[in-house]
Copies of this chain bind each other. A is one copy, B any other.
Amino acid sequence: MRLVALGAGVALQRNQWKREGATDVTVREIIQTHPQPTSLDRAVLIQCVTECSDCADSCTSCADADLAEPDVEDLVRCIRLCLDCSDLCTTTGRIVTRQTAADVGVFRAAVEGCATGCRECGDECERHASHHEHCRLCAESCRRCEEACRAVLAALG
């Protein structure tokens, strides 16, 4: 059975959620209760974790919106890069979250891969930003995540 699609006419009160209270706060707190935290600046680490999570979700959602657009054929590269970026952000968010017995080589390689994925996906989404609002929003999320990854790499030295 399929869920009914309502069509494009419906309900785009886009800013309805924008000013809501903080979310995704739990992982920030949990990270701070770790019994053996790493030496990495905690604020930088937490920023990276939350941006990875946001960007993973944004890319999943943008790929899905692309798929429902009438010009889906022009969005094939966008879909593909969003799928890759979502996978990279999910995995990197997990690795950065883990503080126990961290290996700096693995940590760095994961964050570098994620920064690359976010850069390319952000570039591609930006190409469609003027005609697809979801691409514009997703590009912003990719930029923020890339920046958070770069901050982690800078902190690693």
Query: A interface vs B, CB < 8 Å?
Result: 1-8, 10-40, 42, 46, 49-50, 53-58, 60-62, 64-65, 67-70, 72-73, 76-77, 79-81, 83-88, 90-91, 93-95, 97-107, 109-110, 112-113, 116-117, 120-121, 132-134, 137-138, 140-141
Contact = CB atoms under 8 A, between A and B. Distances in A.
A76 B100 contact: yes
A58 B91 contact: no
A35 B50 contact: no
Contacts of A94: 60, 83-84, 86-87
A109 B117 contact: yes
B80 A101 contact: yes
Contacts of A103: 1-3, 81, 84, 120
B98 A80 contact: yes
B57 A11 contact: no
A137 B26 contact: yes
18 contacts: A4-B38, A6-B39, A18-B29, A22-B22, A23-B50, A24-B50, A24-B53, A26-B58, A26-B137, A27-B54, A35-B68, A57-B97, A64-B100, A81-B106, A86-B94, A87-B91, A103-B120, A113-B113
